[in-house]
């Protein structure tokens, strides 16, 4: 087990109708003025916006609002948000939405106390020293940002999409009502499922000194998501399936499934380049094509771990580890296919000619290697993995 | 999934030599005056006491100290601790030890702001409204009190040992160096292993609407502890095994393995009566005799869950669930035997004539039923389970 520090302080309010308590919850922490941050307006058509506003008003709390966060949230909106938060002197950012809205809220929360461009945090030029507290009402099970320290922002100008981690940005509380995810369509649900799996997947394949308890948790979580994922796709209003996905989304990315490991997220780096170059490519969609390709690329180095993956996630047995590893890849592809997640990058509009640009985005023009599960991935490795996805 | 609220805010500093940083860690939170709370003096012979004092002094922090916490910590020492903490105006209680020391520290932390006898909390007469922050340097993997909200105190006069839960009492931080547990002897290690298993065991058998992700975590955790437990007994200085136990101890009792369930701890209630009546009976020792007896008593009602337990914890297959349930009981007994945990209450000096008194202690003279996994246990049930342990 590798030394670690770990804290996951987010208070979770989980269950039906919990969002109606948001005013009382905010008040219980003593906050007085909220910046309500949200996306493209689906919370207005669903009626959630009205419920939140009513609850906030009923407790006589003040609020400002900033909507318009898109998938792959942008540097530009973050800067707007910081200015607004400072002008209005809010004491809490309330993110109502999914990972994009929450990440945008995190960037605003850290930017509030920083004189420069908050994107400096994403470029790893400087670390946040202080941040406004963040509350969340979650509307999609996917990114786990409601409990994670990570914050991923995109800059359309440079096509750079980059994340950073800071425990100051772990939300103070997260309201999680699975019913709010009933309206998430099949495609977004599938992308969320892949994203949830990916967070424990990358932790599982991160190195440690031996098999860890967190490895067992990671494989249990992936198995559970495979079990309930199909149900959530087939029956969007199945409470138990939606609840399981929502809880799994949080526990897959709060750090739990990587405790005692030297975690790295190489596949995420590749996926970020995709969304950086084409912002309409959802994170989970890119991951669905990339994960099996990565598995094939490292099969000889990760044979044993892949075999354990097949055994624990899919409850299958086999003659030897190499057979098991191949089964792991095939079964995971089958699962992705069954939920209609994309299996190739072609399906996402990526062609062979895009690969050099993608490689340059991942490696910052060849100046950095990526990740350390198995071994650092250089330019050639990354190119090969992208080519395997086409 | 049953609605829940969950928070586990304790920051964990995990790894070799972390205790040497305790002064710096305390200072990073801004505390100035510490009440050092510990047990019978083993931390002095081991050299830990000196390390802690040196680290505290090196950061120019003030401290008072109160040692003498025994196994099954007492109401009397808690009262002494509260007076001392108030007199010295400390701003942090630092528990250096295991579950008993931490629970005693918790009672002092809550008692600090309460005018009455802190045992009122344990008698469920009143709830803490405020508590001093608590830090921990953990020296034994067992109770999980380093991250849990629970606080169990004994009153020798009435033989009542009772716990209560309060999130205010979750420690602010916990320093966990597995090497500090190398000196824990085989018997205490075995008791700790049983205690760790019991926390996820009771959560697993708590009711929910369907099989939960937390059930998979519970069984994964128990499986891991069974795998590494024997190693820790055989090789006390095996870092990986000790580290796994230490992490499992925390994750087994911070609430994780019961998320979305209506958790109850009936077997713990019975064990508390044992230690209440005979304070030299370690908690884990009582649990080792009680758990298999409880399993036998509920085998017809919990056949399916017991079978899943056998399948997931011991990786065994069988013809039908009843056979699996019996295998679960036999294999768990075998494991307890292999680590020399007591298999009967006779081994702990309990005889048939003690049972009526034990039943009265558990049921408060027949005025309450216990637990709600399977069904509430009444006087007759509890008597039968105790008799099965003899």
Question: What separation in angstroms does the CA of B259 have from each of B132, B203, B251, B256?
Answer: 27, 9, 12, 6
Subunit contact B220:A240, Cβ cutoff 8 A = no
Same domain, yes or no: A158 and A200: no
When the pLDDT of each residue in chain A is averaged and rounded to a whole number, the result is: 95
Residues of B in contact with A248 (CB under 8 A): 213
Cβ–Cβ under 8 Å, residues A66 and A41: no
In angstroms, rounded to a whole number, what is the distance separating the alpha carbons of residues A58 and A53? 8
Distance from CA of B217 to the nearest CA of A (A): 6
pLDDT at residue number A301: 92
Same domain, yes or no: B172 and B252: no
Subunit contact B247:A259, Cβ cutoff 8 A = yes
pLDDT at residue number A275: 87
The two structure tokens encoding residue B379: 């006087």
- The residues with which B33 forms a beta bridge, in sequence order, are B62
Query: CB of B244 within 8 Å of any CB in chain A?
Result: yes
> Angle, nearest 10°, between helix axes B213-234 and B186-204?
170
Res. A374: pLDDT tops 90: no
Cβ–Cβ under 8 Å, residues A105 and A95: yes
In angstroms, rounded to a whole number, what is the distance separating the alpha carbons of residues B187 and B283? 12
In angstroms, rounded to a whole number, what is the distance separating the alpha carbons of residues B268 and B371? 10
pLDDT at residue number A305: 96
Query: CB of B209 within 8 Å of any CB in chain A?
Result: yes
Query: CB of B7 within 8 Å of any CB in chain A?
Result: yes
Query: CB of B11 within 8 Å of any CB in chain A?
Result: yes
Subunit contact B216:A209, Cβ cutoff 8 A = no
Subunit contact A260:B251, Cβ cutoff 8 A = no
In angstroms, rounded to a whole number, what is the distance separating the alpha carbons of residues A103 and A95? 9
Subunit contact A210:B240, Cβ cutoff 8 A = yes
In angstroms, rounded to a whole number, what is the distance separating the alpha carbons of residues B163 and B145? 12
The tens-digit pLDDT sequence of chain B (390 residues) is: 999 999 999 999 999 999 999 999 999 999 999 999 999 888 999 999 999 999 999 999 999 999 999 988 999 999 999 999 999 999 999 999 999 999 999 999 999 999 999 999 999 999 999 999 999 999 999 999 999 999 999 998 998 889 999 999 999 999 999 999 999 999 999 999 999 999 999 999 999 988 999 999 999 999 999 999 999 999 999 999 999 999 999 999 999 999 999 999 999 999 989 988 898 898 899 999 999 999 999 999 999 999 999 999 999 989 999 999 999 999 999 999 999 999 999 999 999 999 999 999 999 898 888 876 677 899 999 999 999 999
In a domain, B155, yes or no: yes
Nearest CB neighbour to B247, from listed A239, A240, A260: A260
In a domain, A44, yes or no: yes
Convert the pLDDT of each residue in A130-186 to its tens digit: 999 999 999 999 999 999 999 999 998 998 889 999 999 999 999 999 999 999 999
Subunit contact A221:B243, Cβ cutoff 8 A = no
Distance from CA of A327 to the nearest CA of B (A): 20
Query: CB of B262 within 8 Å of any CB in chain A?
Result: no
Same domain, yes or no: B176 and B274: no
CATH assignment of the domain containing A41: 3.40.50.1970
Same domain, yes or no: B24 and B107: yes
**Which is it for the CA torsion B81, B84, B86, B88, positive or negative?**
negative
Same domain, yes or no: B46 and B141: yes
Distance from CA of A257 to the nearest CA of B (A): 11
State the average pLDDT over residues A313-332: 96
pLDDT at residue number A165: 95
Query: CB of B24 within 8 Å of any CB in chain A?
Result: no
Subunit contact A216:B220, Cβ cutoff 8 A = yes
- Residue where a domain terminates, one of B125, B150, B180: B180
In a domain, A120, yes or no: yes
Which ranges constitute the DSSP H helices of chain B? 22-28, 42-45, 48-58, 75-88, 99-111, 119-122, 186-204, 213-234, 239-251, 266-277, 283-297, 303-314, 321-338, 355-363, 379-388
The number of distinct structural domains making up chain A is 2
Subunit contact B5:A16, Cβ cutoff 8 A = no
The CA-based diameter of chain A, rounded to the nearest angstrom, is 66
Residue in B157, B162, B135 with CA at minimum distance from that of residue B12: B135
CATH assignment of the domain containing A224: 1.20.1090.10
Cβ–Cβ under 8 Å, residues B133 and B29: yes
In angstroms, rounded to a whole number, what is the distance separating the alpha carbons of residues B87 and B66? 13
Residue in B89, B115, B118, B120 with CA at minimum distance from that of residue B106: B118
- Residue where a domain terminates, one of B133, B154, B180: B180
Convert the pLDDT of each residue in A298-309 to its tens digit: 999 999 999 999
Phi/psi of residue A174, nearest 5 degrees = -140, 125
Same domain, yes or no: A198 and A233: yes
Subunit contact A11:B5, Cβ cutoff 8 A = yes
Cβ–Cβ under 8 Å, residues B306 and B323: no
pLDDT at residue number A209: 87
Residue in B93, B95, B79 with CA at minimum distance from that of residue B153: B79
Question: What separation in angstroms does the CA of A285 have from each of A39, A159, A288, A291?
Answer: 19, 18, 5, 10
User: Within the 121-150 window of chain A, which residues sit less than 8 Å (CB to CB) from chain B?
Assistant: none
- Residue where a domain terminates, one of A121, A148, A180: A180
Same domain, yes or no: A166 and A278: no
DSSP H/E element including A155: strand A150-155
Cβ–Cβ under 8 Å, residues B102 and B146: yes
Distance from CA of A382 to the nearest CA of B (A): 34
pLDDT at residue number B366: 87
Q: Which residue has 């039943």 as its token pair?
A: B359
In a domain, A157, yes or no: yes
In a domain, A196, yes or no: yes
Subunit contact B260:A243, Cβ cutoff 8 A = yes
In angstroms, rounded to a whole number, what is the distance separating the alpha carbons of residues B124 and B121? 5
β A4-14/B4-14 pair status: antiparallel
In a domain, B3, yes or no: no
Which ranges constitute the DSSP H helices of A298-378? 303-314, 321-338, 355-363
In angstroms, rounded to a whole number, what is the distance separating the alpha carbons of residues A133 and A137? 14
Subunit contact A4:B10, Cβ cutoff 8 A = no
Nearest CB neighbour to B216, from listed A11, A213, A223: A223
In a domain, B2, yes or no: no
pLDDT at residue number B275: 87
Residues of B in contact with A245 (CB under 8 A): none
Question: Quick check: helix, strand or coil at residue A163?
Answer: strand
Same domain, yes or no: A190 and A137: no
- The residues with which B165 forms a beta bridge, in sequence order, are B150
Residue A120's domain comprises 11-180
Cβ–Cβ under 8 Å, residues B17 and A21: no
| Residue A71 or residue A33, greater confidence | A33
Distance from CA of B32 to the nearest CA of A (A): 22
Distance from CA of B191 to the nearest CA of A (A): 20
Cβ–Cβ under 8 Å, residues B176 and B135: no
**Which is it for the CA torsion A120, A124, A125, A130, positive or negative?**
positive
Q: pTM for this one?
A: 0.96
Query: CB of B115 within 8 Å of any CB in chain A?
Result: no
Same domain, yes or no: A32 and A171: yes
Q: Which residue has 């884990």 as its token pair?
A: B284
Encode burial over B163-187: b for 16+ CB neighbours within 10 A, e otherwise: bbebbbbbbbbbbbbbbbbeebeeb
Phi/psi of residue A239, nearest 5 degrees = -60, -45
In a domain, A127, yes or no: yes
Find which of A15, A181, A213, A246 to mutate to test the B interface (most B CBs within 10 Å of its CB). Answer: A213
Same domain, yes or no: A162 and A195: no
Query: Closest residue of A to B147, CA-based?
Result: A7
Res. A66: pLDDT tops 90: yes
- How many helices and strands in chain A, by DSSP H and E? 15, 8
Same domain, yes or no: A83 and A143: yes
Same domain, yes or no: B154 and B122: yes
The two structure tokens encoding residue A249: 């989304």
Question: CB pairs below 8 Å between A and B: how many?
Answer: 105
């Amino acid at each position: 087990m590798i030394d670690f520090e770990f804290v996951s302080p987010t208070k979770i309010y989980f269950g039906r109708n919990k969002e109606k308590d948001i005013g009382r919850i905010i008040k219980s922490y003593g906050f007085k003025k909220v910046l309500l941050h949200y996306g493209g307006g689906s919370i207005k058509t669903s009626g959630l916006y009205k419920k939140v506003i009513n609850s906030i008003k009923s407790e006589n709390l003040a609020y400002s609002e900033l909507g318009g966060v898109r998938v792959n949230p942008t540097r530009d909106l973050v800067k707007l948000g910081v200015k607004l938060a400072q002008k209005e002197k809010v004491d809490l950012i309330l993110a109502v939405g999914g990972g994009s809205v929450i990440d945008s809220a995190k960037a605003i929360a850290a930017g509030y106390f920083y004189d420069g461009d908050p994107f400096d945090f994403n470029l790893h030029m400087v670390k946040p020293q202080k941040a406004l507290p963040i509350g969340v009402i979650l509307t999609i099970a996917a990114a786990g940002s409601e409990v994670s320290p990570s914050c991923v922002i995109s800059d359309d100008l440079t096509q750079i999409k980059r994340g950073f981690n800071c425990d100051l940005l772990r939300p103070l509380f997260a309201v999680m009502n699975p019913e709010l995810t009933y309206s998430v369509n099949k495609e977004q649900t599938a992308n969320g499922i892949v994203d949830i799996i990916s967070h424990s997947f990358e932790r599982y394949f991160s190195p440690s000194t031996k098999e860890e308890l967190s490895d067992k948790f990671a494989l249990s979580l992936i198995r559970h998501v495979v079990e309930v994922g199909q149900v959530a796709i087939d029956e969007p209003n199945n409470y138990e399936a939606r609840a399981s996905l929502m809880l799994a989304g949080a526990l897959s990315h709060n750090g739990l499934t990587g405790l005692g490991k030297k975690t790295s997220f190489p596949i995420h780096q590749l996926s970020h380049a995709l969304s950086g170059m084409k912002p309409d490519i959802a994170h989970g969609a890119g991951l669905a094509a990339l994960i099996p390709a990565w598995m094939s690329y490292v099969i000889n180095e990760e044979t044993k771990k892949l075999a354990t993956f097949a055994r624990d996630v899919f409850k299958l047995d086999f003659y030897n580890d190499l057979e098991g590893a191949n089964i792991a890849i095939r079964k995971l592809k089958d699962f992705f296919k069954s939920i209609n997640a994309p299996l190739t990058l072609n399906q996402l509009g990526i062609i062979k000619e895009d690969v050099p640009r993608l490689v340059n985005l991942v490696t910052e023009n060849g100046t950095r290697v990526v990740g350390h599960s198995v071994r650092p991935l250089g330019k050639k490795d990354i190119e090969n993995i992208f080519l395997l996805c086409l």
